[in-house]
Amino acid sequence: MIRGGRPLRGSVSISGAKNSAIALIPAAILAESEVVLDNLPILSDVAVYSEILEELGARVLWDGNQMRIDPTHIRSIPMPNGPVKKLRASYYMMGALLGRFKEATIGLPGGCNFEPRPIDQHIKGFEALGATVTNEHGAIHLHAKELRGAKVYLDVSSVGATINIMLAATRAKGATIIENAAKEPEIIDVATLLNSMGAVIKGAGTETIRIEGVTELKGCRHSIIPDRIQAGTYMIAAAATRGDVLIDGVIPKHLEALTAKLLEMGAHVEELDESIRVIGQPEYQHVDVKALVYPGFPTDIQSPMTSLLTQAKGVSVLSDFVYSNRFKHVPELVRMGAKIRVEGRSAIIEGGPLNAAKVKAADLRAGAALVVAGLTVPEGTTEVFGVELIDRGYDHLVPNLRALGADVWREMEE
Domains and CATH numbers, the chain: 2-15+226-408 (3.65.10.10), 18-223 (3.65.10.10)
Q: Please list the residues that pair with 15 across neighbouring strands.
A: none
Question: Is there a binding annotation on residue 88?
Answer: yes
d(CA 176, CA 375): 48
Q: Is 220 a catalytic residue?
A: no
Q: Enumerate the β-bridge partners of residue 248.
A: 13, 275
Answer for the pair 100, 94: CB distance below 8 angstroms, yes or no.
no
Is 300 within any annotated ligand binding site? yes
> Is 221 known to sit in a ligand binding site?
no
* Predicted TM-score (pTM) of this structure: 0.95
pLDDT score of 114 more than 50? no
CB atoms within 10 A of CB 343: 9
Residue 325 marked as a ligand binder: no
- Span 37-56, mean pLDDT? 94
Name the band, by pLDDT with cuts 50, 70 and 90, for residue 374.
very high
DSSP letters, 58-114, are -EEEEETTEEEEE-TT-----BSSGGGGG-GGGGHHHHHHHHHHSEEEEEPP-S--S
18 labeled binding residue: yes
CA distances from 32 to 21, 164, 360 (A): 19, 19, 44
Q: Using 50, 70 and 90 to split pLDDT, how confident is the model at 413?
A: confident
Cα gap 205→158, rounded to integer Å: 13
Is the Cβ–Cβ distance between 329 and 373 less than 8 Å? no
What mean pLDDT value characterizes the chain?
Answer: 95
pLDDT digits (tens, 9 = 90+) for 287-337: 999 999 999 999 999 999 999 999 999 999 999 999 888 999 999 999 999
For 380-404, how does the pLDDT look when each residue is reduced to its tens digit (9 = 90+)? 999 999 999 999 999 999 999 999 9
Rounded distance, CA 271 to CA 308, Å?
Answer: 20
Query: According to the model, what pLDDT value does residue 117 have?
Result: 60
19 is in an annotated binding site: yes
Catalytic pick from 52, 112, 250, 269? 112
Q: Is 322 annotated as a binding residue?
A: yes
- Least Cα distance to 353 among 210, 184, 260, 240 occurs for 240
- Residue 322 DSSP label: S
- How does pLDDT run across 199-245, given as a tens digit for each residue? 999 999 999 999 999 999 999 999 999 999 999 999 999 999 999 99
pLDDT given at position 87: 83
CA atoms within 13 A on the CB side of 387: 19
Residue 294 DSSP symbol: T
pLDDT of residue 112: 56
Task: Report the chain's terminal Cα–Cα distance, integer Å.
Answer: 14
The answer on pLDDT for 271 being more than 80 is yes
